[in-house]
Structure 1
């Protein structure tokens, strides 16, 4: 190949590579929703890579089962108290029947006939005798039934206690697993007092069944971008807005391995538009109160984790220091299960 032909070939390759790069950049720009992004989110946060979603789901499931078991235990305890009261009433009566039967024997029609002065008197005594025996039999049966019920209820309580122990153990394991994962990137101490405001109660999200939040597709229009969100994320977005937090927010964002491109995360800004770190007491308190609302309604909304002001909160761990690529001083991050 001559030098002139080699030069023309290199020039052609350079033009093609440049064209491909331009087309790729244009394609990415067209496909991505146009919304501002918080600082630091261009990088992959290693903390979120280490925190397994299954840990949060497992903890929430165990906590729900534990709450149900405690409620059931309370109901059983009330049943035992009521049945025990009936036992206390019936036992002396049945004991008295037993004593009389031992001393006198069961009075039958023949004995009543022998002690009767007339046929009319015999019929009256026999009728009374039959009624007395029926009442005594009912009392004995009621006592036996009450004893059976109280024994069964106490056995059910023991079973509920064992269930609670199993769920507490499961929760402890999930918490320990999350602790180990978070320990790798834990900052130098926790910020106290960030979640101190009174928060309204959110409406429960649909889909919570048997302590589990089922997986959802990103198939609802994101009200903040041209992208999509899950039904659960949209519900949380609506509830946060209804609670009075109406400043700028962005949810769907393409690219990356975490919740934004799955439609399961929103970034709540402290500003009316865009993102910038808190500069005033009002902005800081806005973030605090928004965070308080999310934490206190986590079970109702299906919260996976929250990041705010160098802190991360998960149901299994509570508040821990966070030192990812974004310090989250310019927005509250909300991820959904």
Structure 2
């Protein structure tokens, strides 16, 4: 065989092999990103459950937020009322003194003071003094009226806040009942979560001046995926990592149900090397327990909506409840039962 032909054969064979590999690869499904999150289930039952839980949890946190704001306003109004009442007591004493003085002098006394002037300059001086006394009395009466109105407004405001607090307390009870009703479909009986007494405190997320949570959208680049998350979700993720929870995490997930496509949820793998289709045990489960404990302990600081791990769910309204939406034994579906990762949803 000519030398030229022999040289061309390996190159041709390499080309054929490369094309075959490409065709075979095209026929296979694309591999998931190493850090992509677990499939937590898309059944109608799970969808309804999580939708109802989200509505109940959001409603509960909104009512709690409104209650806290109302209590803060009541404290401010109470301080205003106390200050106004103290000032009223002083002003009333002063006005009483002015009234007694006017009663003693009367109109004749004022006219006598003017008639007894010994010179034009003395008359002008007495006239100016009387004007100052009149202005002083008018100012005192005006201030008394203003402070009286302020005290009345503060009292009315306190009454309004008391009614608002009663309304929000009723709303809290309603939302709690709704969450418990939704969870009853998947067990939902009260249970205890693992508590780490040494779990650190997170730095509080930003709030409005009145203590309420600011509205946020999916506006921040998600460091765990190519998507976006809310500023509050990023803060919770960074605080968790700062506390030592640095294993694989996946937050944004397009097309997914629940809070992932809104940038309000993260899945934290409890295994060292990423999401695995088996239930974590031993040190890996302890890692997940500690992370769940950390998120629950700092829920009000971070703005946590709910936490799920190992067939349990924590909500502000209910505390820890059993959670097994797959209808199987705990761990038969590691992703759906959340036995291989901790799910965090944010407000």
- Give the match's secondary structure for 2:29: helix
In the TM superposition, 1:82-231 aligns within 5 A as 82-106=83-107, 110-186=111-187, 189-194=190-195, 196-202=197-203, 204=205, 211=212, 216=217, 222-225=222-225, 228-231=227-230
CA distance in 2, matches of 1:297, 1:222: 21
Distance 1:123 1:209 in 2: 56
Aligned to 2:16: none
Q: Is the 8 A contact 1:94 1:136 kept in 2?
A: yes
Structure 2: runs of 5 or more not aligned: 1-22, 327-333
In structure 2, distance between residues paired with 1:36 and 1:166: 43
What does 1:1-337 correspond to in 2, within 5 Å? 29-30=29-30, 32-35=32-35, 41=40, 44=43, 46=45, 49-51=48-50, 52=52, 53-106=54-107, 110-186=111-187, 189-194=190-195, 196-202=197-203, 204=205, 211=212, 216=217, 222-225=222-225, 228-232=227-231, 233-252=233-252, 257-260=257-260, 264-274=264-274, 275=276, 277-280=279-282, 282-325=283-326, 326=334, 327-337=337-347
RMSD of the TM alignment (CA)? 3.6
TM-score, normalization: structure 2?
0.74
Report the number of matched residues. Answer: 310
For structure 1, which runs of at least 5 residues remain unmatched after alignment?
1-22
Partners of 1:62 and 1:211 within 8 A in 2: no
Deviation at 1:212, TM superposition (A): 6.5
- Displacement after TM superposition at 1:253 (Å): 5.5
SS at match of 1:247: coil
Distance change >3 Å, CA 50–CA 43, structure 1 → 2 = closer
Given the two structures, how large is their TM-score scaled by the length of structure 1? 0.76
Separation in structure 1 between the aligned mates of residue 67 and residue 177 of structure 2, nearest angstrom: 18
Structure 2 SS opposite 1:328: coil
Specify whether residues 151 and 254 from structure 1 end up closer, same or farther in structure 2 by C-alpha distance, changes over 3 A only.
closer
Choose 59-68 or 205-214, whichever is displaced more: 205-214
